[in-house]
Structure 1
Amino acid sequence: MSLRLRLVLLFSTIIVIVASLQMGLNLWSGELASQRFNQNLLENYQGHWQKVIELQKDDMLDEQKSLTRDRTIVKSLRKEDHARVGESAFATFNRLSTSGVIDYLDIYAKTGDVAYSSSQAQTPIGGMAKEAFDEQEVRSGLMTMGEGHLVIGVSFPLYYRGKLVGAARYGKRIDTALAEFTTMTQTQALFVQPAGEVVADPQSLAQNIDIQLPDSQAAQVYSAEIENQHHFVSVLPIQTETGHLLGFVVSAKNDHDNYQQTRTLKLTEFAVTAIALVLSIVVLRWVLGISLKPLGTAIKTLRDIGAGDLDTQAWRGEWRGEFAALMSELGEMQMQLNQRTQIEQR
């Protein structure tokens, strides 16, 4: 293998290594940027979800007075007249449900029995309503009702002339919160229980994606194709104040245009790097060819002299730097050998 070829291979290898390191660095930087994007996306969605829940709770909290100031209801609770409670509560429920404030209303007597339930439930007081009754303070948050349906709930005690006579609970289906969440985030969303059962899916998202729930209660982001469009799918764990996992909000955001642009940029970057690599090797070979030409001339001169041609002029030319000194020494050596040969011939 010639010296020229060895140098070409050496420098080509160096160029390939440098280019590979650069591409690896770009991929690593892209991965870090992707992780930061996912983290920011999850934090943003988590903030929007909390805002939606708080707005729903605030609407219900503002309507506490509809029951706490209803003397018919609280007086009837004091007398344990559940029929009268039901008549007045039914009118209140119709008004609040029609205005979109609540979807459920349960009123409990101080004995814990149901005095009125918009869903016809007969389960004694429990959960958030019992906490509000026992602790005599307003409690709010997410809870499950009926067959595991997730509800935004607000519970509060009821008094008549300063005496505790019962408790009430407002409930709002999670579907409404999901609808507002999708409007705020420009996404499609559903709610799925920890076991994987979808309990709220206003936009039929479950029909279009493979839901991937995390093994832990950590939020996550993954990519999915929906109708041949690239989407970011985020999974947010929803917990009670005590840390009990209620389920996950799964939302999908169309990012097809940005995805295609990013993909095109990556392919372009790869193509440009490959072309630059090939051109670098070609230019390197050309430069080495020019740079090593004097060395080839020196080798030819030595071969000519070794073959007995003491009159060779191959070393003559316009040389610079170290090659000029080398050629000068070759010329001097040729001249001395020529003189010695002439002396010996005499």
Structure 2
Amino acid sequence: MRSVLVLCLSAALVCALSASARTSSGNPVALVTAEQQNELLAVGLPSGKVLRRVSVPADPQNVAAAPGAVVVVSTRAGAVTLLDWRTLKTLKVFRGFGSPHLAAISPYGKWAYVTDDARGQLDVLALGTRRLLSHVFVGAGAHHLTLSPRGLRAWIALGEHASEISIVDLTRPDRPRLIRRFSPGFIAHDLTFSPDARRVWVTSGTSDSVYALDARTARPIFRVRVGAAPQHVAFNRGFAFVTSGYSNRIVKVDSRTGRVVATTTTPHGSFNLSTERSLVVTSSLLDGSVTEFDTNLRRLMSVHVARAARGVALTLW
């Protein structure tokens, strides 16, 4: 019996290590939406070389990536494209959305959630079966979206300049349920759960501040002055990285205290960002560049890749 148990434990360890290797090995690649060219670009890091160009429906604005899937949201076309995460081969194009804006992939890669501005709803895609499963009305202007680390909650900003935020229950991931809507007390833009799920960082659509809210009560804990609105946030190793595209700035903030620990410049219009391993990457909507930093905000590379580079997501190939 002991030998059987040891063999089972060893097999489980091998499987776990193999899964870890699959998701953590490889070279970093920035997936970038080139909305004026109707393309998704794969940019190698740190070379800055465009490795692949993939045609997608008109006006690709945002991209989400996870091991196993890449999802591109094309707003004007009312379409969402599912691609293979390594080859970028198109697997399916979902059509018939009103004005889709943002996609988020669940922690284990089974589901993708898409906000639809025009219809005020959150749509659920089953990535394995490539089906549009369900939707729930969350409020007019459903725009930016964040999932909790375990995928049990979603916060959705109702509009690019949002006076309300919706909280959605995802304990049944294929059947989301609206819990409530609340006013944060300021005009919100983007939002991101902290890695410990205790806070949601909400950026401003009008002011220079980013707010950390309690994820349970939605009450503000602190705010950080970053630069001109709108800002965007991503987390890496206990720090929040916040961009201000109009202020040409990226800021590194201690996520526990809100203390700014580093600041550097970015190309004009670098609104969106993504982090992976020890890298932080921004994309510029206004000058079409992709810029790579380390987590100390030392610039490693900047390259012009498109007329407008809106969304960015890091993956490993």
Which TM-score band applies after superposition, normalised by the shorter structure? under 0.3
TM-score under structure 2 length normalisation: 0.24
Structure with the higher fraction of residues in strand conformation: 2
Structure label with greater radius of gyration: 1
Structure with the higher fraction of residues in helix conformation: 1
